[in-house]
Amino acid sequence: MCGTTSYLKDTTNYQLYTVKQGDTYDSIALNAYGNPTYYWIICSFNHIQDSFSMPMPKSQLKLPVMTDIEFEEIV
């Protein structure tokens, strides 16, 4: 599970990505960021709590721009 859904700021710039058949969060992270271990960024930003689930083909995900990522202050 991602477990970080409340920490990334929703105001971070992003690009929309249309999910293709066979995509996983780690394969999308590999293509978008060059590193599959950044899957949690995609899950967190899209409020996906089960990172082991398969994204639905033709659905859209917000892919945060890596250089613009900001975190909420945890109180």
Q: Tell me, what CATH number does 20's domain have?
A: 3.10.350.10
d(CA 36, CA 47): 18
| pTM, two decimal places | 0.82
Tell me, yes or no, whether 54 lies in a domain. Answer: yes
> Alpha-carbon distance 44 to 6, whole Å?
7
Residue ranges making up the domain that contains 32: 14-68
**Terminus-to-terminus CA distance in the chain, angstroms?**
22
**Does pLDDT of 3 surpass 70?**
no
* In a domain? residue 2: no
Least confident of 12-21, 32-41, 56-65, 66-75: 66-75
Q: Are 50 and 1 in contact (CB under 8 A)?
A: yes
Work out the pLDDT band at 57, boundaries 50, 70, 90: very high
Euclidean distance between CA atoms 62 and 73, whole angstroms: 21
Cα–Cα dist 33/26, whole Å: 10
**pLDDT number for residue 6:** 52
11-53 confidence digits (pLDDT tens): 889 999 999 999 999 999 999 999 999 999 999 899 898 999 9
The answer as to whether 64 is a domain residue is yes
In a domain, 4, yes or no: no
Is residue 30 domain-resident?
A: yes
